[in-house]
Structures are given as C-alpha cells and as structure tokens.
C-alpha cells in the first residue's frame, strides 16, 4: 500500500481514539475537526444563559474544534468555524465597537457566517442539547459585553477587545470541547450535509481508496509544529506550471474529503506523538495500525542517548570488571528486548518529512518492512556497530546513536546552517541504510576517519569536557562504526584481526597512549597542579597514520625515555610485554604504508584491555591489603 493509503489505515484502526483527550500526548483529531489554541473559556447553562468566563493557561489552550475546509484554510476571505472561533466571529455585538465602516461591515459579515454555521448544526434532527444551548446564547449577541463585564484583568480585556482570541464552551459543567459524542455528531452532520448537496460538490475517483465520491483540493496544513503552514499535497499550476504539459490545472491528484482528513490527521498524530527531529526534518516510526511498539527502536537509531550503555543502576556494584562475553550477552539481550514485542508478521513504517518550501511538506523518505526483517536489521546494527568501553570499574558494550555519528563525521562548525542541512540529509541516509540492512555511504566513514586522525584539532567543550576526552570518545565511536562497515567485524576471530596491519598498529598506538596517560596520572597524584594534556601519541598521530613505522620508532623512543620509566616494575613490564608482542605480531607489516579504518578498532580494543587489566590488578592489591 502507498504512503497515503497506509496513513488512512492507521486512522481507521485507531478511530475509536479520535477526539479522546490523552493527557500524556496529542489527541487524534476527528474528521471535519481541527486543533487550535483557544485562549478563553465561556461557561453557560442549558438555557443559553451566560454564567462566567476565564482566561486559559498556556498548557490548557490546545483544543479540538469542529471545522470546515473553508475555515481551516481561510486567509483574508471570511470563513467561519461552526462552534469555537475568534471572538470577532462569535460576538454579535463586536461590530458595534468599531468606528471604521469597512471593518464594521466585515465584522458583521463574519458573525453572520458563524451564526449560520452554528444554527444549521443546532437545527439538525440529532443536534446535541449543548449545541442548541450555545446557539441560543450566541443569538443574543452579548458575548463581547459579557466578557468585558466579567472579572478579567485589564491586560486580558485589551486582548478580548481586539477580537482575535478563540473561545470555547462549557455547558452545564460539560466541557463541549472534550465530548466525543459531540465530535462524532458534527462529523456525521457535516458529511451528510455534503451528500445532501452532492450536485454542487466535485465528484471524482479517490486515488487512495479507488472509490468514487466527493473530492477536495483543500488539504490541511499543520502536520508538523515546526512547519505549521506546510501541506502534504500542494501545487499551484496556474503560475508556476509544476506539471505543465502533463495535467490541466491540479488534475494530477484526486482525493476524497474523508481520505484527506484521515491521512492528514493520522500523520499529524504520529508526528506530534513520536517524531524525532533533526533540524526541521521529522523522522517518525510506527507499527501496524500506528502502534507505539517500534518507538524504542527509533530511540536506538536516532535517540540522544547511546543505546549500548546499560543503566548503571542494574550494574553489580560489588563487581569491578565484567567478563567480556557476559557483557556482549547482556548487550544482545537488551537489543532483543527492544524488538521483543514486535511480531514477525507486523509491519513497521518509517517516514522522513521536511518542508520543501514554506507551504509544501515533502516526504523525503518512506519505507515499510515486515517485522522479521526490521528486527533482524536492527539487531545487526546494534550487534555490529558496537565496541566495548571501560567505564570507571566495569566494561560496557557501546553503540553510538545516529546524532553522535553525524557529529563525529561532520561536527566541526556544527552551529552553522550548512551543518544543519547536512545533518538531516545524513540522518536520512543512516536511517534508510540501517533499517534496510544496507551499507552506509563511504563518505561518512571517510569524513569520520579524517576527523579522528587530527586530535590536535579538538578543543575543550563549553560544558568543560576536555578535548582529549572528546577525541578518545570519537575514537570509540569510529571503532563501533567500522564494525558495521566490516559486516559483522565484532565477530571476527582473533586470528583475522591480528592479521590486519592497521588493527595491530592501532593497538600499538593505544599502548603508548596509555603509558603516558598513566604516567601523567601518577604525576597528578603527587602534584595537583599537573593538568590533563595531549599525549605524545596524540601529537604524533597524523604522522603515525601516514608513516606508521617511522613514526612508531620516534614515539617509542620518546615514551621510553620520558614516561615508561616512571611506572612501577610490574606495570612497566606489562606494558613493555604488550608492545613487544604486538611488534612481533606485525612481522613484515612494520612498514610506512598508510593505515586504514581498522586502526580505531585496534585502539579501542587495546585501550579496554589495558584498563581492564589495570583495574583487575588494583582489585587484587586491595584484596591482599585487606587480607
């Protein structure tokens, strides 16, 4: 089924929620209704007598109101909503306050339109008693006077006097704006009135359902709160000639009014409830029928927290070092948990929306997968695009989220408009590749690799994170990313990894980096004025990547001369044994051929191994001391 058809299906499968107020999220708007911000609440009795009114707090203003296409899309030409509208439409006495004759005539016309819409509904056979009471009150023409004589503050009265505020009703203690029966009554009345005047309505084939019926060209805007004027279907072929030579006018599409309402309201509901934004581009995931089951997966892919980090509350506080295999098992269990509630025969839809222009919403990406493929691809991403990290006293499995990957590859100048435009394009590439199980564009890998090769280009963050720490974090992110590029690189055997020259050089680099960091830490314990700084390895890194053998000899000489001698005998022996074993492992690979992507994987693995061993040695020393 196509995108629009899927949205109609989502609406129909959740139609019982239409108009049902949900305090935890947005409400699915019923057919022939709209969601607006209302500022005034008017209370009347069942006989249409005014009781009181009050201004609404900001968090109360969002209100579902009955609507017509003309009212929803009105500009300068007057068109009235049938129940809640601006005071200038609702108040019969508003025109009396105006001195400008042209403006007074316009206000009179606006009120006549409003009263006609409301009276037509109130006089229908099955009109709710509350609507009849409201019509009785409005017919008195005293709304503005009642509001101005009520106990409003002067600042609120000034706003009321301008006539631009919307008002809603409570009748006999019943909030009309939350009553599903009243919503359904208006929907039925409006659709039936369209059928009664079918001869004056446009008739055609609904391209979504394939059925013949009343069509519309008035497609609502307001799908995304960040692009509130953008419409899902919009074209002006009278001047711009969007489809010149192919169609006459706007005959390129034909959609029934009901289908247009269902697809727009369903999409708006999904976007406002569960979209993830990158700049103004909205990424939204939903399961069969618009269920929220894939939401955790959306967070895994594009959330702002790394999915691979376990909640520290679940860690065993008495355990210093996690067994690597247990960590990997726990991580895979968590991945499975994210998709466990999704059945194999369920479908998952993914859409990316952006405003192509101020008035047009573009669907820049759309895909539908069966649950089995979706789960498999998500599991593959989480399982391969990951690496171990050592946090304080334990090992964790880590997968960078998409936002982190974008910042890793293109983060320099991330406050500029170019970065914002690029980031949403790359996010779309990441989403489409991962959920489809395809390779990522190599541009992302290259850009990320260029960045980590220049640690001297990193500076401290405004939040106080040291540039050295930011660079190290990026090294681990790149290592995880290369795991996905290798098509399951985290499952490579030790022999396969050890034969990779770039991987082994990355491990050698990590040994020298750790030796100096440990030496600096010892100095800092003796002298608190010693601050963190870039290591010799970091300063040599760019040359190391281009001419590894030559730069290694310089690095080894510098670190041996200045730092390794400061370590204790056992610690020094452990690090010397580590780099000597790795040199032996390289064999004929000790050349100046430039290094490739697996360098970061070697760095990450060796860093975790060294820190884990150091933590284990510290634990043993403490146990011996306690004994």
Residues 6+ apart with CB under 8 A from 163: 86, 87, 88, 91, 94, 107, 144
Residue 76 placed within a domain: yes
Block means of pLDDT (10 residues each) for the chain, 627 residues, are: 85 91 85 95 97 95 94 90 97 94 95 97 96 98 96 94 97 95 96 79 81 78 70 63 55 80 90 83 78 54 41 37 53 60 78 80 88 85 85 80 89 72 89 90 94 92 88 94 75 70 96 90 75 87 96 93 82 89 92 96 93 84 75
- Whether residue 448 lies inside any domain: the answer is no
Q: Is residue 444 part of a domain?
A: no
Q: Is 487 part of any domain? A: no
Q: pLDDT (tens digit, 9 = 90+) per residue, 323-333?
A: 455 655 665 56
Chain centroid to CA 345: 26
Within this chain, do residues 475 and 335 fall inside the same structural domain, yes or no? yes
User: Are 345 and 463 in the same domain?
Assistant: yes
Residue 449 placed within a domain = no
Q: Are residues 187 and 254 in the same domain?
A: no
What is the number of structural domains in the chain? 4
Quick one: 80 and 221 in the same domain? no
Q: Measuring CA to CA, how many Å separate 610 from each of 604, 613, 614?
A: 10, 5, 6
* Last residue of one domain, picked from the residues 164, 196, 228: 196
Together in a domain, 385 and 359: yes
Q: Which two tokens stand for residue 403?
A: 């936002």
Which of 247, 274, 301 is the last residue before a domain boundary? 274
The conformation of residue 79, written as its DSSP 8-state character, comes to: -
Domain that holds residue 84: 31-196
Instruction: Kindly state whether residues 410 and 268 are assigned to the same domain.
Output: no
Give yes or no: residues 261 and 114 share one domain.
Answer: no
Residue labelled with tokens 């679940």: 314
Residue 392 lies in a domain: yes
- Token representation of residue 489: 């690189």
- Distance, first Cα to last Cα, the chain: 70
- Give a yes or no: residue 445 inside a domain: no
Same domain for 54 and 162?
Answer: yes
Query: Could you give phi then psi for residue 489, rounded to 5 degrees?
Result: -60, -25
358-361: long-range contacts at Cβ-Cβ below 8 A with a sequence spacing of 24 or more? 358/227, 358/229, 358/230, 359/221, 359/229, 359/230, 359/231, 359/234, 360/230, 360/231, 360/234, 360/235, 361/223, 361/224, 361/227, 361/230, 361/231, 361/232, 361/234
Distance CA 167, CA 85 (A): 6
Strand order in the sheet with 167-171: 50-55, 40-44, 167-171, 174-175
In whole angstroms, how far apart are CA 450 and each of 311, 344, 383, 422, 478?
32, 40, 25, 17, 11
Verify that 395 and 525 share a domain, yes or no. Answer: no
> Could you read off the pLDDT of 266-305 as tens digits, one per residue?
999 988 888 888 888 888 888 775 655 444 555 555 543 3
Output the pLDDT for position 233. 74
pLDDT at 322: 40
Residues 173 and 237 reside in one and the same domain: no
- pTM given for the model: 0.81
Specify whether 211 is located in the same domain as 342: no
CA 229 from centre of chain = 20
Residue 402, H or E segment: helix 402-410
Q: Residue 33's Cα: distance from chain center in Å?
A: 26
Q: What is the DSSP string of 288-328?
A: GGG-STTHHHHHHHH-SS-TTPPPGGGS-TT-SS--HHHHH
Quote the tokens at residue 155: 């600042």
What pLDDT score does 336 carry?
59
- 452 domain-assigned: no
Contact between residue 507 and residue 582 where contact means Cβ atoms under 8 Å apart: yes
Q: Could you give the CA distance from residue 581 to residue 17 in angstroms, rounded to a whole number?
A: 66
DSSP code of 21? -
Going by C-beta distance under 8 Å and a sequence separation of 6 or more, which residues neighbour residue 65? 33, 34, 35, 36, 38, 81, 83, 84, 85, 166, 168, 177
Q: Does one domain contain both 564 and 472?
A: no
- pLDDT at position 243: 52
Residue 454 to residues 449, 460, 501: CA-CA distances in angstroms?
A: 9, 15, 20
**Domain boundary residue among 274, 294, 309?**
274
The pLDDT value given to residue 320:
35
């Amino acid at each position: 089924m196509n995108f629009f058809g899927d949205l109609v299906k989502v609406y129909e499968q959740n139609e019982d929620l239409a108009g049902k107020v949900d305090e935890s999220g947005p409400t699915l708007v019923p057919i022939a209704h709209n969601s607006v911000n209302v500022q005034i609440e008017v209370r009347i009795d069942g006989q249409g007598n005014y009781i009181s009114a009050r201004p609404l707090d900001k968090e109360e203003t969002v209100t579902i109101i009955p609507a017509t296409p003309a009212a929803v899309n009105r500009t300068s030409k007057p068109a009235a909503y049938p129940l809640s509208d601006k005071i200038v439409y609702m108040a019969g006495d508003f025109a009396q306050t105006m001195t400008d004759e042209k403006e007074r005539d316009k206000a009179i016309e606006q009120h006549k339109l409003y009263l006609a819409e409301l009276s037509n509904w109130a006089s229908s056979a099955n009109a709710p008693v509350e609507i009849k009471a409201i019509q009785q009150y409005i017919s008195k023409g005293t709304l503005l006077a009642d509001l101005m004589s009520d106990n409003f503050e002067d600042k609120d009265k000034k706003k009321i006097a301008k006539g631009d505020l919307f008002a809603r009703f409570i009748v006999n203690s019943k909030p009309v704006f939350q009553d599903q029966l009243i919503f359904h009554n208006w929907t039925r009345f409006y659709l039936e009135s369209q059928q009664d005047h079918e001869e004056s309505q446009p008739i055609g084939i609904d391209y979504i359902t394939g059925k013949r019926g009343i069509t519309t060209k008035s497609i609502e805007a307001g799908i995304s709160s960040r692009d509130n004027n953008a419409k899902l279907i919009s074209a002006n072929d009278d001047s711009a000639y969007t489809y010149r030579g192919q169609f006459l006018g706007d005959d390129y599409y034909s959609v029934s009014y009901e289908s247009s309402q269902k697809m727009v309201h369903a999409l708006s509901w999904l976007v406002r409830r569960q979209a993830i934004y990158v700049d103004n581009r909205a990424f939204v995931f939903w399961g069969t029928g618009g269920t929220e089951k894939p939401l955790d997966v959306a967070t895994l892919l594009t959330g702002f927290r790394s999915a691979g980090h376990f909640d520290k509350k679940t860690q065993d506080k008495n355990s210093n070092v996690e067994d690597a295999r247990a960590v990997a098992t726990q991580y895979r269990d968590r991945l499975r948990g994210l998709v466990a509630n999704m059945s194999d025969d369920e479908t998952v839809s993914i859409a990316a929306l952006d405003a192509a222009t101020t008035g047009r919403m573009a669907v820049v990406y759309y895909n539908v997968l069966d649950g089995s493929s979706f789960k498999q691809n998500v599991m593959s991403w989480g399982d391969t695009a990951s690496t171990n990290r050592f946090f304080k006293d334990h090992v964790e499995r880590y997968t960078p989220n998409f936002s982190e990957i974008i910042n890793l590859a293109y983060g320099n100048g991330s406050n500029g408009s170019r970065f914002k435009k690029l980031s949403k394009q790359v996010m779309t590439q990441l989403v489409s590749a991962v959920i489809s199980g395809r390779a990522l564009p190599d541009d992302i890998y290259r850009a990320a690799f260029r960045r980590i090769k220049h640690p001297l280009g990193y500076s401290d963050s405004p939040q106080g994170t040291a540039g050295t720490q930011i660079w190290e974090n990026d090294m681990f992110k790149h290592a995880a990313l290369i795991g996905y590029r290798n098509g399951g690189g985290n499952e490579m055997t030790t022999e396969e990894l050890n034969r990779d020259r770039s991987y082994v050089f990355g491990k050698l680099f990590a040994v020298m980096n750790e030796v100096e960091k440990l030496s600096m830490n010892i100095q800092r314990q003796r002298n608190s004025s010693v601050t963190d700084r870039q290591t010799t390895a970091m300063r040599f890194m760019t040359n190391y990547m281009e001419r590894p053998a030559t730069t290694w000899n310089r690095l080894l000489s510098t670190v041996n001369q200045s730092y390794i001698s400061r370590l204790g005998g056992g610690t020094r022996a452990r690090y010397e044994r580590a780099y000597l074993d790795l040199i032996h492992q390289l064999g004929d690979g000790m050349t100046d051929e430039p290094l490739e992507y697996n360098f970061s994987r070697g760095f990450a693995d060796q860093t975790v191994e060294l820190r884990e061993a150091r933590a284990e040695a510290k634990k043993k020393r403490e146990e011996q001391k306690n004994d």
